[in-house]
């Protein structure tokens, strides 16, 4: 097997045409979920084989380690379950390869480049993040988790956030909701924008002209606050989409306090399928994002030095009781 799998090899392994594989891997157009899964299974499988049997690949620079650079405040590393899922999955791949995962956090305003060993898995970079910009031009091998902000040119691995928002909108439309509001994440984060865009554009295409939006920072407290704002400014709402499960849980608290029943009065859909989604009352209908899978693929692509492939993994609506 050659140094890096070619697009043709990935396509052949997935049983699709190179053109289709290309569409999946660049995320440029919509492809069916099953086709997408086939292609990513092939990418994942081929990456795995190559790492376990790298015989003869002399020209390859072996990656001596991976540093996960989390663009967030250190205490959030422990309070945000997304990081635990992402880093545990990435760490398992790194350990399989006999090397180390190092984790460091950088504040959103910091431009001090930490001492880095090997390649970098960049997480949570927002627009104009000075450190992320520096990393882009540093010559260090980097892969971003999530589509990078438009000011950054970086390889990435993402989940289909836009399609997750679209699925939420379609579920609201199919269940007869008329007045949909949204709680967005930080607008400087592409993942947050994509979730909202998928929702709003799909509703607009269906003739819903206006979607009131309040913004949070992915925490439960911010979801509660945003929901209170929405209830004041759009008291007639009968559905709300939150860009994270924690914000959805916080929104449900605000709805309960306001005397609105979920889902009878207001349907709620979250995003993540985090553990909290099973523990809310009622259990949360949410868009599942494959956090572990995207971390696994991104880490394998980093370790193998593969470029030219920017996987976007499918998201999936999980229907429970809140919508």
State the DSSP string of 288-303. Answer: E--HHHHHHHHHHHHH
207 binds a copy of itself (CB under 8 A): no
**Would you give the binding string for a copy of itself spanning residues 275-314, x where CB under 8 A is met?**
----------------------------------------
Count of residues that bind a copy of itself according to CB under 8 A: 31
Within 240-269, which residues bind a copy of itself (CB under 8 A)?
Answer: none
Nearer to a copy of itself, 267 or 303 (CB): 303
Helix, strand, coil distribution of the chain in percent, nearest 5? 45, 15, 40
Query: Based on CB atoms, which residue is closest to a copy of itself, 32 or 64?
Result: 64
Q: Does 82 bind a copy of itself (CB under 8 A)?
A: no
Identify which of 214, 150, 212, 142 has the alpha carbon closest to the alpha carbon of residue 181.
Answer: 212
CB of 129 to a copy of itself, least distance (A): 15
Stretch of 84-92, 188-196, 223-231, 278-286 contacting a copy of itself, by CB under 8 A: 84-92
User: Nearest to residue 270, comparing CAs of 255, 280, 259?
Assistant: 280
Min dist CB 25 to a copy of itself, Å, is 29
**Please, which residues have CB within 8 angstroms of residue 86's CB and are 6 or more apart in sequence?**
68, 123, 145, 291, 292, 294, 295
Binding residue for a copy of itself, selected from 79, 138, 281, 307, defined by CB under 8 A: 79
Q: Quick one: which of 34, 52, 55, 78 contacts a copy of itself (CB under 8 A)? A: 78
- The yes or no reply on residue 206 touching a copy of itself (CB under 8 A) is no
In the complex with a copy of itself, the residue whose CB is nearer, 75 or 139, is: 75
- Closest by CA to 282, choosing from 271, 267, 296, 301, is 267
User: 316 and 110 in contact (C-beta within 8 Å)?
Assistant: no
Looking at 15-23, 33-41, 62-70, 281-289, which segment touches a copy of itself (CB under 8 A)? 62-70
Binding mask 95-114 for a copy of itself (x = CB under 8 A): x--xxxxxxxxxx----x-x
- From the list 21, 11, 37, 14, the residue with the least C-alpha distance to 314 is 37
- Where in the chain does DSSP place strands (E)? 65-70, 100-105, 119-123, 142-145, 156-159, 180-184, 213-215, 239-242, 267-272, 285-288, 312-313, 316-318
Indicate if the alpha-carbon torsion angle 144, 315, 195, 322 is positive or negative: negative
Instruction: Tell me which residues touch a copy of itself (CB under 8 A).
Output: 64-65, 67, 74-75, 77-79, 81, 83-84, 87-88, 91-92, 95, 98-107, 112, 114-115, 117-118
């Amino acid at each position: 097997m050659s140094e890096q799998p070619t697009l043709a090899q990935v396509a052949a392994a997935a049983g699709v045409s190179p053109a289709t594989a290309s569409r999946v891997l660049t995320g440029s157009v919509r492809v069916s979920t099953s086709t997408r899964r086939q292609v990513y299974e092939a990418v994942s499988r081929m990456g795995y084989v190559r790492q376990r049997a790298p015989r003869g690949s002399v020209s390859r620079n072996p990656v001596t380690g991976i540093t996960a650079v989390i663009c967030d405040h250190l205490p959030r590393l422990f309070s945000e379950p997304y990081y635990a899922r992402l880093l545990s999955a990435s760490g398992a791949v790194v350990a399989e390869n006999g090397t180390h995962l190092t984790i460091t956090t950088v504040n959103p305003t910091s431009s001090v480049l930490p001492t880095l060993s090997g390649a970098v898995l960049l997480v949570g970079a927002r627009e104009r993040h000075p450190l992320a910009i520096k990393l882009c031009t540093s010559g260090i091998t980097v892969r971003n988790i999530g589509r990078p902000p438009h000011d950054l040119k970086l390889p990435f691995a993402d989940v289909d956030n836009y399609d997750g928002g679209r699925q939420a909108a379609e579920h609201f439309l199919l269940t007869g909701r008329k007045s949909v509001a949204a709680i967005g994440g930080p607008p400087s984060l592409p993942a947050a924008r994509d979730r909202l865009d998928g929702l709003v554009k799909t509703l607009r295409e269906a003739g819903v002209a206006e979607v009131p939006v309040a913004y949070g920072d992915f925490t439960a407290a911010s979801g509660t606050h945003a929901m209170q704002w929405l209830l004041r400014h759009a008291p007639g709402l009968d559905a709300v989409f939150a860009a994270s499960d924690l914000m959805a849980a916080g929104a449900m608290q605000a709805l309960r306090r306001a005397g609105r029943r979920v889902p009878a009065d207001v349907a709620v859909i979250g995003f993540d399928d985090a553990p909290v989604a099973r523990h809310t009352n009622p259990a949360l209908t949410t868009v599942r994002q494959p956090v572990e899978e995207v971390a696994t693929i991104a880490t394998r692509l980093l370790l193998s030095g593969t470029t030219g492939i920017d996987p976007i993994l499918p998201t999936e609506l999980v229907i429970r009781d809140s919508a």
